Structure 1
Amino acid sequence: MKPPKQAPPESMALSADEVRRLSAWLESHDGDPCADAISLCLDTGLRRSELAGLRVGDYNRAFGQIKVARVLVETRGGVVEKEPKSGTSKRWVPVPGTAGERLSRHIESQRERLAENGVAQGDSTPMFATDGGAAVRPSDLTAAFRAAADAAGLPKRHHLHSLRHTYATYLLSTGTSFKEAQELLGHASATTTLNVYGHVVPGRKTDAADAYIRWREGK
């Protein structure tokens, strides 16, 4: 029996209304480590393992960028820190505007929260930490998203990775090149991005063909 076909990425992306509802819920939980991590995921398209692997020192506030340098993966033996899945997965991702402001607030509120529990926050502290200073587990982020999605009234088909699809779909549908999207998403190549998201912008092929015919006919 053939496995069921997966839904195309754009069908898993959140609609504008769903983004607004989820964002409103996340804003009402500003300062919660999981809610702040989910908000960053929505704003940057980071993978779950990348979010869990971030450290405070990975955020360059002056340039409004965050460095993806490691991932956290859950195994039977516990949580394991690993290198990103490919060389291109190691990257700097912009965190502009209100996204950067929220991340800065999170870092400061986390500093205070950890201090109350006798933990000093430094550059090597997990970006999203428990009260004891340990990194929030990837599965915790999944569970937190489910709770947030249910509270915001999102359909059950959405999961944390849907936020990555939302980010990618928006980038490509608003004119970002596949090469630029590949660099932001950390795909191994632009071909990977094209294979996964090429159908998000089907009109580009027609536009390119039309432009060629106009050029050939001297128009």
Structure 2
Amino acid sequence: MALVRQLHSSLKGFLCKPSLHVLAAQSRHIGSSTPRFDDENDGDGGSGEEQEDEPSPDSPVDAEENTKPKPPPPPYAEELRKILTAKYLSNQPIARPHSLRDKPSTELNLQQLRSQYKQRLSAVRKQYMSELERQRAAKAAQDKKQREEIQLAKEERLRLKKEKSARRAIEVAEEKRILQEQLAAESAERRAYRKMVDMRIQERRQMERDIIRQESGNWIEEKDLEERIVEAFLNPIEL
């Protein structure tokens, strides 16, 4: 508790902007070396270097202090020295330790932070939802456009297919007509040839009939058979 009180008093004194000598005394009090400030000038318009109070060698008190062993510095000495040095160099206020009297303001700040966080979270959610809706609308429009393009391409393919089918039907009909004409011509040729052959056969048959009719006068009939045999014996014909 004594160390906490000492730290609190040191911070309180530092917040009141003490002089360099007070800071050096506090630093020596907590067991650390005196901070050096080389980049800034002190309040008295000096050269910017810390003037340390060197003990006189003839002083018995200083000689007794030099002979006494120095106690080890507390664990917060180095941290406090860094804080004091940073405070002096930057001339910026440092964070005060929380106490019971700061509790209402802390709760208020916490509520404000929570409210701000909720507001920012709500804004982010709204932005996310709007972006999501925009992406959905864009995707829906893109899908609709793709469907329309696919439908148009399909209709174009069907139209080309119908035109091709119509052209093919005309070609097939023309081919059938030509084939029918060829078949008809061939059939007519075959009929004419068959008719000619039949006529020749009939003419040949008629000629053979005429020859047979002419030669039939010399044929031997059954009633004249005995008479012709006797005549052949009586008048033989030499071959």
TM-score (structure 1 length as normaliser): 0.25
Instruction: Answer 1 or 2: higher relative contact order, Cα 8 Å, separation at least 6.
Output: 1
Report the structure, 1 or 2, having the larger strand content.
1
Larger radius of gyration: 2
Report the structure, 1 or 2, having the larger helix content.
2
